[in-house]
Amino acid sequence: MNAYQEFSVIGSRPVRPDGLDKVTGRARYGADLNMQGQIYGHIVRSPHAHAIIQSIDCSQALAMEGVLAVMTGKDLPVPGDSVLGSGEGAIALKDLSPMVMSQGKVLFHAQAVAAVAATSPELAAQAAALIAVSYEVLPAVTDMHEALSAEAPILHADRFPHGFPEEPTNLAAHISLVVGEPDAAFERADVVIEQTYSVPMCHQGYIEPHACVARVDAAGQVDLWCSTQGHFTVAQYTAALTGIDVGKVKVTASEIGGGFGGKTTVYLEPVAVVLAQKAGRPVKMVMDRGDVFRVTGPAPGAQTRVKLGAMRDGQLVAADVECVMDSGAYNGNPAGIPAFMATACYKFTNARSTGRAVYTNKPKIHAYRAPSVPQVTLGFELAMTELAAELDMDPLAFRLKNAVEEGDVNMMGAPYNRIGLRECLEVASAHAHYNAPVAEGEGRGVAAGYWINAGLQSSATLNVLSDGHLAILTGSPDIGGSRASMALMAAEVLGIPFEHIHPQIAATDAVGHCDVTGGSRTTLATGQAVIQAAEQCVAEMCRRAAAEWEVEAGVVTWSQGAAHYGEQSLTFEALARRAGTMGGPLTFSSSLTASSAAPSFGVHICDAKVDKETGRTTITRYTAIQDAGKAIHPAYVEGQMQGGAAQGIGWALNEEYLYDENGVLENPGFLDYRIPVASDLPFIDTVIVEVPNPLHPFGVKGVGEVPIVPPMPAVAEAVYRSAGVRLRDMPLNPPKIVAALTGQ
Amino acid sequence: MNKPLNKMAVQATINGEPTAFLCSPGQVLAEVLRDELELIGTKIGCNTGDCGACSVLVNDRLVCACLVLAAEVEGQAVQTIEGVAEGGVLHPVQQKLLEHAGLQCGICTPGVVVAAKALIAHNPNPTEEQARFWLAGNLCRCTGYDKIIRAVLDAARQMREEAGA
C-alpha cells in the first residue's frame, strides 16, 4: 500500500526548472567553465594496442616555453588490490587506474601514458608530441573468441578468475547458475530450439565530450568541476587514484550533456588534479571526440547461445543460456548480469545460465543503459519469437502464458514484488499498432525487456526561503529531467506551487552523499529523500502552527499548502515569512539507502521495411509500452522510453565498433559511427503503464534503462519478416542484409 | 616553429552587435565564440561538423561553427543561440521545446534551436519529413527526436497563425 494514493500535481507536465537556461544557451556544461589563470592539459596516448612501456622522456616537452607540468603513470599510486565501492558496484583500483593512465603496460590503443599542461591548448598539444615514449610492441587480440584460443596473447598473466586456477587465460570471469534440472526438462519438451546471436561493441554516444577543470590550492584543497553522473563518485575515485584524502576533494557537477552510464567513472579528472598540483595553476581538460570513442565507454560486444524448450501448448519448460561478453582490457564485470538476468521475464523452474567475460586489447567496457541486458536479451527474446513461430503461437500470447508475476522467483533467487510485465503484454496485445494489418512489404516484431533498477544512497536538503519559496539541494546530477521530478514531489507533499520550487544540484561539500545518477534510481531514491525531507517540513510547520494556536500538534492538519485547525489556518508562505520569530530558519535534510527499488518491464512493437535492393531498413512505426510504477512527470518518462528505443534501434541497425588488425578503432567519429539522426526514425509512440511500486511512497519504479532492452530483438524480427532472411548477428546494416538476400 | 601569440584582428556583427576579436589564423569560429567572446551556448560535440551542436547562422546561412574559420566572418553577421531570444522573449521554437519536453540533457538544444529557427525562416510550413531531414545534422542522443520534431512543427504552426492574424 503506497503512503500516497491520490495526487494533485504528480502526473502533470510542467516546464522543467532548468529548461530556460538550456534553450537559451546559458546552461554550463563540463567545458563551459574557465577558472582564473587556468592552463590546459593534453594527454599522450599509446599508438599501440598492446605494448610494454620501456621509457618515457618528458625533458624536451618540459623545456618548452609555456609548459608548466608533465606527468606519467609514475605520478599515480600503484593500485594494489584495493577495491572501491561505487554504489553501482565495486570496482578494483587496478581496473580503474590504467583507464586514467597506464603504469608500465599498454593494453589498448590510445591508452593514456603521459600528460602535459601548458598555457594554451595548442602549446599543450605541441608539447605532448615532444614526449618521447619507447615501447616494446606485443601482439594484440581484439576478437573475444580469438582471445580465448590457446595461441592468443595473454593480457593479464597475473589474473586467474575464480574456479580457473590452472594457468593464465584471457577469461576475466565465469559465472554459472542452475535452477532445477534443465537437461532432464529439455528431454520432455515437445519443441526445443537452439540458436546463437551476437551484438557488437558499441558506444553510449553522448554528445558532450568528457571535460573538467581542476584547481589545487596551497593547502592542498582540490576544487574540481566536471561533467559526471555522480560527483561524489568522482571525488572518491579521484582521491583513491591520486592518493589525496577524499575530504580534500570538492567536486561540483556541471550540467551533463548525456552519459547513459558512460559518465559514472573518471578519465580526465585525476590527470587534471595531478597536473594542477604540479603546476600550481588550474588545469582544464576537454577530451577530443575521437578519443571519446577510442578510450571511453564502450558497451561490451556479446555472443549468446540460447536453448529453449516448450510444450505444444506454449508452456516453457527449460532454458539454457550462455553469454560470452567482451570486457575489453580490464575487468568491467559484464559476466554476472546476463547470467542473473537473462531469463528474468519468464517463469522457469529449470534453467541454466552462464556468463563469461573475456579480456581483449580494447578499452575497458563501462556501463551503458541497462548494462549487458540488451546484449543477452537480443538472443533470449529473438529465441522466444522463433519458438513462438515453431509453436504457431502469437508471440505476445506465448509471452503472456509464461510471464513472471508477483511471487515468482528469477535466477537471483528473490521473489518479485508487484511487477507489471503482464500488464504491459496485455496493453501491447490490445494496442492499435499490434492490431493494425502489417503494411505490404513490411514486417513486425515484438519483444519484452527487464531491468533490475537500483536504490542506493541519496540525500536531499530543503531550505524554506523567506518568501515561501523552496530551494531543494540534492547531489544527483540531472541527466533527463530529474530536477522537474524532485520539484513535483516536493510540491505534492507541501502543497505549494511547482514554480515556487528551485531544485539544484549541490557540490559534494554542500549536501549529503548521493551515489551516481544511474540504475534508473534518481527519481526513486533521491526523490524519496526529497519526500522525506518535505514530510519533516510539514511536521515542523504543523508543530509551529499548533504552538501559535496553543493546541496540541497532533490536532493540526496539513492540506493545500497550509496548516489547519478548526477555522484557523497558516499558509506555507506565512510560516516561511515568520520563521525567524517562530523557531528559526526552516531547513530539512533526509538521507537514505533506498530499499524501495523495483524492477521495470517494457514491451516494444516495431514495424520495419527493408529495401531489398539496397539493404536499407526503415523503421515505419514504433510503439514502446512500459510499467513506470507511477509517472511523476509523464513527458520525461515518455522521453526516456523514446530515447532508449532510439538507441536500441541504432544498435540493431547501424552502431558498431570496427577495429583493424592492429587494434585501432576505425570509426572514432559521428560520421562513421552513425547514431540515429532525425530522418532515420518515425515518431515513437508510448504507453505508460502504472502498476505502483508498493515499496515507494509514491509508487515509483525506475524508468530510464529498460527502454533500451527490447528494441534489438523487436527490430531484428521485423527485419526478418520484411526481408525474408533470418539474421542473428547485429547490426543489421545494408551490406549484411544484401549479402544475406543474395546468398553471399 | 609555432607562434601562439600571432593573432589576427577580426570585425563582425555578432547577435546584432558590432564586435571585434583577436584570433589565430587556424582558429575556428566555435572556439572563438566560446573562449574569446564567452558565448558558451555554442557547444562543441565533435569539432568535425558531424553533430550540429555548434550550429550558428552566418549571414542567415546555417553552418557548423566548428567548420568555419573565425577569420572568415570578417564583415559578416553571426547569430548564435544567445541572439535567438529577442529582448528576453523566447522564440517560439524555444518556447515549444520547453512545453513539449523536447530536451533532456540539453547539450544539443542550442544547435537544434538555431537550426529549427532557420528551417522555419526558410520554409514556414514544413512537413514532418522536411523537418526531420533539415534537422538530420543535429544529433540528439537523449530524446529519439520525437518531442523535438513535435515542438518544431508546433512552433511553425504557431508562427504561421501569428503571421496570418
Asked if residue B129 and residue B103 are part of one domain, the reply reads yes
Assess if residue B1 is contained within a domain: no
Q: Is the peptide bond before A676 cis (omega within 30 degrees of 0)?
A: no
- Find the closest chain B residue to A480 by CA distance: B104
Residue A288 touches partner B, C-beta closer than 8 Å: yes
The answer to whether residue B87 sits within a structural domain is no
Per DSSP, A718 falls in state H
When scoring A23, A122, A204 by the number of chain B Cβ atoms within 10 A, the one with the most, hence best to mutate, is A23
Cell 552519459: give the residue: A259
Half-sphere exposure of B149 (CA within 13 A, CB side): 25
Task: Say whether both B15 and B77 belong to one domain.
Answer: yes
Q: What is the mean pLDDT of residues B76-99?
A: 96
Indicate whether B78 and B114 sit together in one domain: no
Q: What count of other Cβ atoms lies within 10 Å of the Cβ of residue A369?
A: 26
A31 touches chain B (CB under 8 A): yes
CATH code, domain with B151: 1.10.150.120
In-domain check, residue B32? yes
Total domain count, chain B: 2
**Judgement on whether residues B14 and B72 belong to the same structural domain of the protein:** yes
Instruction: Give the span between the Cα atoms of A247 and A236, in whole angstroms.
Output: 9
CB proximity A13 to B under 8 Å: yes
Identity of the residue numbered A511? V
Q: Rounded distance, CA A227 to CA A213, Å?
A: 10
Helices (H), A495-581: 527-549, 572-577
Query: Same domain for B14 and B39?
Result: yes
The answer on B138 and B117 residing in a single domain is yes
Would you say A646 and B145 are in contact if contact means Cβ atoms under 8 Å apart? Answer: yes
In 3D space, the residue among B47, B127, B157, B40 whose CA is nearest the CA of residue A22 turns out to be B40
Distance CA A226, CA A522 (A): 19
Tell me how close the Cα of B131 comes to any Cα of chain A, in angstroms. 8
Grouping H, G, I as helix, E, B as strand and the rest as coil, residue A724 is coil
Q: How far apart are CA A569 and CA A493, in angstroms?
A: 17
Strand partners, A565: A568
Q: Is residue B2 part of a domain?
A: no
Beta strands in A414-530 (DSSP E): 442-451, 456-464, 470-474, 501-505
Among B35, B145, B154, the strongest candidate for a mutation testing the A interface, having the largest count of A CBs within 10 A, is B145
Within 8 A by CB and 6+ apart from A496, the residues are: A468, A470, A490, A561, A572, A573
With left for phi above 0 and alpha for psi between -120 and 50, is residue B59 left, alpha or beta? left
> Measured between CB atoms, does A205 come within 8 Å of chain B?
yes
* Minimal-distance CA residue of chain A relative to B102: A639
Nearest to A114 by CA among A70, A52, A178, A60: A70
Question: Do B103 and B138 reside in the same domain of the chain?
Answer: yes
C-alpha cell at A301: 560486444
Q: Which of B81, B97, B129 sits opposite A25 (nearest CB)?
A: B81
| 3-state class (DSSP) for residue B17 | strand
Residue ranges making up the domain that contains B131: 92-164
CB pairs under 8 A between A and B: 185
In a domain, B117, yes or no: yes
Same domain, B34 and B76: yes
Written as one string, the DSSP assignment of A334-400 is: -SHHHHHHTTTTB--SSEEEEEEEEE-SSPPP---SSTTHHHHHHHHHHHHHHHHHHTT--HHHHHH
Give the length of chain A: 744
- The torsion region of residue A510 among left (phi > 0), alpha (psi -120 to 50) and beta comes to alpha
Q: Residue B4 pLDDT more than 80?
A: no
Q: Which of B27, B58, B82 is the last residue of a domain?
A: B82
> Do residues A376 and A305 make contact, with C-beta atoms less than 8 angstroms apart?
no
State the residue for C-alpha cell 532492452: A709
Q: Taking the mean position of all CA atoms in its chain, how far away is CA A679? A: 26
Separation between Cα atoms, residue A414 and residue A598, nearest integer Å: 12
In what side-by-side order are the strands of the sheet with A557-559? A557-559, A562-565, A568-571
Using one digit for the tens of pLDDT, what is the confidence trace for B139-156?
Answer: 999 999 999 999 999 999
CATH number of the domain where residue B71 is located: 3.10.20.30
Listed residues B29, B62, B82: the one ending a domain = B82
Taking contacts as CB-CB distances below 8 angstroms, the residues of chain A near B119 are none
Last residue of a domain, one of B28, B48, B82: B82
Are A16 and B24 in contact (CB < 8 Å)?
A: no
Same domain, yes or no: B41 and B77: yes
For the question of whether the overall pTM of this predicted structure is more than 0.95, the answer is yes
CB contact under 8 A, B141 and A29: no
Task: For A28, name the nearest residue in chain B, comparing CA atoms only.
Answer: B40
Whether B57 and B23 map to the same domain: the answer is yes
Ranges of beta strands (E only) in A560-654 are: 562-565, 568-571, 587-594, 600-610, 617-627
**Cα–Cα distance between A710 and A641 in angstroms, integer?**
11
pLDDT tens-digit readout, A704-727: 999 999 999 999 999 999 999 999
By CA distance, what is A649's nearest residue in B?
B144
Residues B102 and B145 in one domain: yes
Q: Tell me the chain B residues in contact with residue A120 when contact means C-beta distances shorter than 8 Å.
A: 4
Span B83-112, average pLDDT: 96
Nearest chain B alpha carbon to A25: B41
Q: Looking at beta carbons, which residues of chain A come within 8 Å of B57? A: none
Residues B73 and B40 in one domain: yes
Set of chain A residues whose Cβ sits within 8 Å of the Cβ of B104: 258, 479-481, 636, 639, 643
Give the domains, in start order, of chain A with CATH numbers. 19-27+455-594 (3.30.365.10), 33-138+208-257+263-295 (3.90.1170.50), 302-453+598-741 (3.30.365.10)
- Higher-confidence residue of B6 and A499: namely A499
| Regions of chain A where pLDDT drops below 50 | none
Q: How far apart are the first and last CA of chain A?
A: 59
Cα dihedral B136, B139, B144, B145 sign: negative
SS3 B41: coil
Q: Is A181 on the interface with B (CB under 8 A)?
A: no
Distances (CA, A) of B46 to A136, A206, B68: 33, 11, 14
For A498, which DSSP code? G
Backbone Cα Rg of chain B: 16
For residue A143, how far is the Cα from the chain centroid?
25
Q: In the structure, what pLDDT confidence band is assigned to residue B114 with cuts at 50, 70 and 90?
A: very high
Report how far Cα A96 is from the mean position of its chain's Cα atoms: 17
**AA identity, residue A529:** A
Task: State pLDDT tens for residues A531-571.
Answer: 999 999 999 999 999 999 999 989 999 999 999 999 999 99
The position carrying cell 494533485 is A8
Q: How far is B6 from chain A (nearest CA, A)?
A: 12
Phi, psi of A472, deg, nearest 5: -110, 125
